[in-house]
Structures are given as C-alpha cells and as structure tokens.
Amino acid sequence: MSRVNQYILATDIGGSHITSAIVNTEDWSIVADCVTRNRVDSSSDAKSIFQSWASNLKETIHKSPHKISQLGIAMPGPFDYDNGISLMHNQDKYDSLYQLDTTVGLQETLKDHPLEIRYINDAAAFLQGEVFASKLDNNDIILGITLGTGLGSAVWRKGEKAFDADLWNTPYRSSIFEEYMVTRWFTRRFEELTGNNVDGLKEILQNHREEAAFDTLMTEYSEQLLDFLGFFSEKYKCRQFIIGGNIAKALDIIISYNPKGFEPYTIGTSNLDEKAAIIGAASIFQ
C-alpha cells in the first residue's frame, strides 16, 4: 500500500447526522482528534445537504496531519453504490437527492479538496468494521443489523467482504419490515397509543417509561424484531448477530420483554458504534 493511501477519510452518513474521521489502515484505528460529527437536516434541499456534508468533511481534512486523497462513504440504502446515485425516496430522509449524482454534488462543494470517492452500504460497512476492528474473523458467518431511521441488514462470511442483504423492503404484515423496525414506527405507534407526538425513541425512554403505553410499545417491537431475526437467520442459516444503530442502545430493554424468544440467537451489540461504519467505509479501498 502506498504511503499516501495509508490514511483514508471515511464517513458514516445517517438520516440525521454525518460523522467523519481519518482511518489509519495499517491497524484499522481512527486517528486521534480527527473526528467530526454534525447534525444534518435530511429534509432540506439538495444544495444544503451537500454543503452540510462538505462542511463536515472539510473540517476533518483540516484536522488531519496527513495528506488525504480518498473518501469512503457509508451510505444508507437504497443507493446505487457503484455509480453514486441516491435512490432514497419517501423514507423520511434525503428525498431531495433522489436520482442525483452524489459524487458530482460532493465534488462541486469540495473543489479545494479533490478526492476519489467510493461508497458502501452503511449496514455492510458497520458489519465490516466490527469484523476488522474486533477480530471476529474466526467465525464462518455473522449477520449484521442496523436499526435507526432505516433498517440495514448485512452478511459477512469468512474470506469475503460484508455485503448488503437488502432486506429492508421485504413484505411484512401490512407493509414491509422497515416500517416496523425503525424510529418512525416508535413515534407513529406512540402517538396512536397516547395521542402524543414525540421526537423519537430517546424521548420515549427518557420521559415515558412509567406509562402503560411504554410496555405495549416494547412488547410489540420485541415481537417484530424477533420476526425479523427469524426471517434473516433462516435465509442465511445463521443465528449469530451484531446489532447496531440508535435503537440498539435500548436492546437490553427490548429483549427483556421477550427473553425466551431471543434465546436461540447469539446477539452482540456494536463495540464501536458509528466508528464501525467509518472503519468499514475506509476498508473499501483495500
């Protein structure tokens, strides 16, 4: 590997945030003091989104003592990862980027910083990063799930790079799995049960845990998560999972509402949180 490519700018783009960092590919570590995290209004216009992303990336580049020429992006789907075209539509995030060339949009706002840009699905990046950094490659197969503004699913097999399982739009009940697994399900269902609007699961956990609706919410979600684990594990003949994303922070609470149901599965939570996706995004240049 050439010296110039030892250090790679990598970023994890979510429905409400962007986090970027410099990754040292010799030991798959994040360079100290070279991390930038900002909120993003994913409902704004395309120009504002590109400028918001570029501002974050420029800040990380300026923090770096190393020359940077490559950018790896962990991006939620649906997305054309080979051609850099956003296909997200009616998913409460990035509608204004639908069918736009993300590479061109970023390069135009990063004119002073020419970069080679590559993309990887965020769930695949998360799983890949966990495997790389946590030395889990003694396993034959591991399944990864990210739970947040979207539903991500990925598969890692020994000797291969993680890939997007692309299960978000699998038919489930009256819709698709994603509609029952993500943040907007919590807010929508909580409003149905109580008549109250909340920003997300974090607010529910902080302010409403003593309400009867909370038990109903967690019981229902645990059943839905078990349905997804069952479907995913049967498809790939594996019961070992790593689960990440903002909703995973409440995983112990969710499991406590149906502990016997989760017994057949080996479930780990992310050791690295969003750093896993960043490391995974850097790994696509290797």
188 pLDDT above the threshold of 80:
yes
| One-letter amino acid for residue 210 of the chain | E
pTM for the complete prediction? 0.80
The reported pLDDT for the residue numbered 255 is: 98
The reported pLDDT for the residue numbered 4 is: 40
Instruction: Return the HEC string of the chain.
Output: CCHHHCEEEEEEECCCEEEEEEEECCCCEEEEEEEEEEECCCCCCHHHHHHHHHHHHHHHHHHCCCCCCEEEEEECCCEECCCCEECCCCCCCCHHHCCCEHHHHHHHHCCCCCCEEEEEEHHHHHHHHHHHHHCCCCCCEEEEEEECCCEEEEEEECCCCCEECCCCCCEECCEECHHHHCHHHHHHHHHHHHCCCCCCHHHHHHHCCCCHHHHHHHHHHHHHHHHHHHHHHHHHCCCEEEEECHHHHHHHHHHHCCHHHHCCCEEEECCCCHHHHHHHHHHCCC
Cα–Cα dist 176/239, whole Å: 22
Torsion of CA 168, 14, 60, 81, to 10 degrees: 30
Centre a 10 Å sphere on the Cβ of residue 129 and count the other Cβ atoms it contains: 32
Cα–Cα dist 6/72, whole Å: 13
The reported pLDDT for the residue numbered 185 is: 97
3 pLDDT above the threshold of 50:
no
Give the tens place of pLDDT for each residue, 197-206. 998 999 999 9
Percent of the chain, pLDDT > 90? 77
Give the tens place of pLDDT for each residue, 82-114. 999 999 988 878 999 999 999 999 999 998 899
Q: Mean pLDDT throughout 41-67?
A: 95
240 pLDDT above the threshold of 80:
yes
The reported pLDDT for the residue numbered 112 is: 86
12 pLDDT above the threshold of 80:
yes
The reported pLDDT for the residue numbered 187 is: 96
Name all domains of the chain by residue range, CATH numbers in brackets.
3-125+275-283 (3.30.420.40), 138-270 (3.30.420.40)
21 pLDDT above the threshold of 70:
yes
Give the tens place of pLDDT for each residue, 130-187. 887 777 778 899 999 999 988 999 999 998 889 999 999 999 999 999 999 999 999 9
